Amino acid sequence: MELREFEHKFNILYLPLGMYALRMVEEVAVSQDLVQDAFVKAWELVSGGAEIDNFKAWMYRSVHNLCVDYLRRRRQYENIDSLQDFSDERVDTSERDARVWKAIGNLPERCREIFLMSKRDGLSNEEIAEEMNLSVKTVKNQMTTAFARLREELADGHRPFFLPFL
């Protein structure tokens, strides 16, 4: 695998793998470190001439194993065997979460800030308006814009996209 192809795969997989690791270890910095470790290991293998048939599956398995090892060392779970399940559902969830966060990151700055204050921080429109020195109408308009852009960016073809966790 050439460096450019590896960089392309890194750019595509880093965020979904990070979301996957975060669901397991529940610490952002640790999940980032584990994903980086998996990519370093992958690069060492492929730059040494090894062939990885299904790179995406290999990376998810590698990150999964690193997370389990980390949790074993920290003894954070009494029943570590419950984390041994490596399912397509977990992968799909991490990829969906990565798409959502990427779409949120693509919102205009003020729109993103208002959206996150509402959905992540749980503030009301009135509280956001007061904190940002805006009218409530402006906050409502920005939320409408945010939802419209997110639906548009996250829709698969003609199916409407539902944001169940927001």
pLDDT tens, 76-113?
Answer: 555 555 555 555 666 677 777 777 778 888 888 888 88
Q: How high is the pLDDT of residue 43?
A: 92
Q: How high is the pLDDT of residue 36?
A: 93
CATH number for 139: 1.10.10
Residue 147 makes CB contacts below 8 A (sequence gap 6+) with: 163
27 found inside a domain? yes
Q: Both 35 and 64 in a single domain?
A: yes
Q: Both 59 and 34 in a single domain?
A: yes
- pLDDT of 164 > 70? The answer is no
In which domain, by residue range, is 7 found? 1-105
Q: How high is the pLDDT of residue 78?
A: 55
Q: Both 94 and 113 in a single domain?
A: no
Q: Both 7 and 70 in a single domain?
A: yes
Q: Both 113 and 97 in a single domain?
A: no
Which of the listed residues 61, 79, 105 is the one where a domain comes to its end?
105
Q: How high is the pLDDT of residue 149?
A: 86
Q: Both 56 and 32 in a single domain?
A: yes
Q: Both 37 and 49 in a single domain?
A: yes
More confident: 58 or 85: 58
163 found inside a domain? no
Q: Both 57 and 101 in a single domain?
A: yes
Q: Both 95 and 130 in a single domain?
A: no
Q: Both 62 and 75 in a single domain?
A: yes
CA distance 149 to 55: 32
88 found inside a domain? yes
76 found inside a domain? yes
Average pLDDT over residues 35-47: 92
14 found inside a domain? yes
- pLDDT of 157 > 60? The answer is no
Q: How high is the pLDDT of residue 158?
A: 42
Q: Both 70 and 121 in a single domain?
A: no
Task: Please choose, from the candidates 34, 95, 140, the residue with its C-alpha nearest in 3D space to the C-alpha of residue 103.
Answer: 95
Which of the listed residues 85, 105, 125 is the one where a domain comes to its end?
105
Q: Report the number of distinct structural domains present in the chain.
A: 2
Q: Both 53 and 72 in a single domain?
A: yes
Task: Tell the residue number behind the tokens 């290999």, with chain if given.
Answer: 58
- pLDDT of 160 > 50? The answer is no
Give the whole-number percent of the chain exceeding pLDDT 70: 82
Average pLDDT over residues 147-164: 65
pLDDT, one tens digit per residue, over 126-139 is 988 998 898 999 99
CA distance 112 to 33: 27
Residues 123, 153, 159, 166, Cα dihedral to 10°: -20
What's the whole-model pTM score? 0.58
Q: How high is the pLDDT of residue 165?
A: 44
Please state, in angstroms and as integers, the Cα–Cα distance from residue 4 to each residue in 1, 13, 47, following that order: 8, 14, 12
Give the whole-number percent of the chain exceeding pLDDT 90: 16
Q: Please state the separation of Cα 44 from the chain's center in Å.
A: 25
